[in-house]
Structure 1
């Protein structure tokens, strides 16, 4: 007769042996200068109301790999074994290629998701700003009370881009964004949701075009309830 051991017994035994079920902590390595800028951003907006935050249009680029790990693997290890080879999961960066997209949304509505065929340079980003940011901001915020958020990527900070925003500062405001603050941007959570939806599909995309089509389809089907109740990654880490 074959004996069986319950999962509960295994967990209890492992804990008695000094093992714990863990996920790696992910933190931003902030310089003192950037930490100060994040604090200044927080202090400058600490009195904003919910209505104020609804006036921000969030944007970002995101890359979806054709092969990926969702980061949900758990292992049993001892305290000192975090870097032991047997406790590591290998990652292949951009294995099989990937799809890069740029997206925008606000509390009021989901904006377009734009496929980026090649590397995002200043010329490509200027086209995105003119063709997608401008109509989105003027349509969603006709009273010119909207704020557009972008991070501090080099192509975002180019002089020609800054000049474009200055020319349109009577239509909306460019939000001053602190460096190294992707965790404060709720669009990160929206892209995570898209990736999770891809991961649970019964039939996975087998090439980049299929992956691109799936990403676009999931994005456009995202419910209002979903994107209106997103948390930043910083808030999520506190839950």
Structure 2
């Protein structure tokens, strides 16, 4: 997910009650910049979010996954969990490369353990719905941020406030959307 200092699209609107002043909004050329974040959902557990420092290509995405997903989360899981887990990602270029496929295979994620996903299917991807919930909280009441660090901290705080039951509801509702 990409976040910016001024909101999801740098544009805000809303109603102002009679006799009330419009809130002061900073106006920045190009929205003041933004930052990428990555997270994963496994059943009812959120992995991350983690800040992505630079743009991702296949090699940097593998390094990123090694430092975040594998070292900080996956290695702590039981062998039976790893045996039953299926890794799902969309078909973004850095996710669909042969380099990444070979690297994931070296981690034990291959064939039926690796599910590819169409890149334009946000209604079926629970993480996209989770990002929407997080962004709603981060930018509540037209909130703007002064630095990229502060907006990242807000995303992490909002993500940690999303309960396991809400995450589980997102992941379990996917099956119903597929059958509709």
TM-score by length of 1: 0.56
The verdict on how the C-alpha distance between 1:200 and 1:130 changes in structure 2, with shifts beyond 3 A counting, is same
Instruction: Give 1:153's aligned residue.
Output: 92
Larger Rg: 1
Structure 2's unaligned 5+ residue stretches are: 15-27
- Contact 2:6-2:32 within 8 A present in 1 as well: yes
What is the number of residues matched between the two proteins? Answer: 157
Q: Which residue of 2 aligns with 1:125?
A: 61
State the alpha-carbon separation in 2 of the partners of residues 163 and 177 from structure 1: 18
Q: CA deviation at 1:155?
A: 0.9
Check whether the contact 1:108–1:140 (CA below 8 A) recurs between aligned residues. no
| CA distance in structure 2 between the aligned counterparts of 1:120 and 1:95, rounded to whole angstroms | 22
CA distance in 2, matches of 1:186, 1:101: 16
Q: 1:179 to 1:222 in 2, by over 3 A?
A: closer
CA distance in 2, matches of 1:106, 1:73: 35
Task: Tell me, in whole angstroms, the C-alpha distance in 2 between the residues paired with 1:147 and 1:93.
Answer: 42
Determine the C-alpha separation between the residues in 2 that align with 1:100 and 1:139. 25
Residue matched to 1:214: 154
Q: Which runs of 5+ in 1 are unaligned?
A: 1-61, 75-91
- Secondary structure of 1:180's partner? coil
Query: Which has more helix, going by share of residues?
Result: 2
Q: Which has the higher contact order (CA 8 A, sep 6+)?
A: 2
How far the C-alpha of 1:99 sits from its partner, in A, is 1.8
Q: How does 1:66-105 map to 2 (within 5 A)?
A: 66-68=5-7, 95-105=31-41
